[in-house]
Amino acid sequence: METALDAGADDVITDGEMFEVTTAPGRLENVREALVARGIAITNAELTRHASLHVPVEGKEAETLLKLVEAIEDHDDVQKVYANFSISDEVMARLAK
């Protein structure tokens, strides 16, 4: 964690086995190089978007939105899909049935 933060990372999150390091796009390469220099194995290093504002969605709108995202993800020309919506676990469980 210290290596990443000293190299300019904004945050380091762990789930026990893996670490997710977030940084500004301009500092990605510096942080990656610092981790590699310390012998830390990197599984993946890429630029990705994270929403700063999440819009809660429920009911019919949630179902429609999930169908839209699924259709977009299934398109051959689409590589990644970014979204800023949040659907509660209860609504997700109901829609999964």
What is the mean pLDDT of the segment spanning 61-73?
95
The confidence band for 17, taking pLDDT boundaries of 50, 70 and 90, is: confident
Contact 96, 65 (CB under 8 A): no
The confidence band for 96, taking pLDDT boundaries of 50, 70 and 90, is: confident
Strands 19-22 and 11-14: antiparallel
End-to-end CA distance of the chain: 41
Distance of CA 18 to the CA centre of its chain: 14
pTM (global) more than 0.85 = no
Which residue type, as a one-letter code, is found at position 57?
V
Q: What is the pLDDT of residues 20-38, one digit of tens each?
A: 999 999 999 999 999 999 9
Maximum distance among all Cα pairs of the chain, rounded to whole angstroms? 50
User: Residue written as tokens 């899909």?
Assistant: 81
**pLDDT at 50 (0 to 100):** 81
